[in-house]
Structure 1
């Protein structure tokens, strides 16, 4: 059985859209799980849509993908490639 995917869901502070960041490939070494190896999917209107997209399109997402609370993490930027992802 392979390891769970490394993933997170967050809302950006500028567009107020939700994003899924996930490492799609197998993690061979610790550095493979770093965020710069993650791919970004979205935007989504809410965190539930992002979770549904992850469960429909990826295996081994674990029991639950962490969702960052936008009240606690209020200053997250949209992805740098936002215009390409729309």
Structure 2
């Protein structure tokens, strides 16, 4: 059975919630099909991916985890194979 660690601070709980939200894909959650990140950006160019993902993530977090504020910047990086990595800077509100 899953059990949350009760010793987590408020900021650690917020980080955990944000990480969980970023790992969910749209249509994965039965009673909230809009929760999560869309896969619509998969075949887009780097500039479109960056703007689409950041906009979507900011909207989702403002609705689902309003205690977190994700700073916008060079959060998405691409390597020579076209693979991307995402880094979020989270500050509690």
Is TM-score (shorter-chain normalized) higher than 0.5? no
Bigger Cα Rg: 2
TM-score by length of 2: 0.34
Task: Report which of the two has the higher share of helix.
Answer: 2
Task: Report which of the two has the higher share of strand.
Answer: 1
Task: Considering Cα pairs closer than 8 Å and 6+ residues apart, tell me whether 1 or 2 has the greater RCO.
Answer: 1
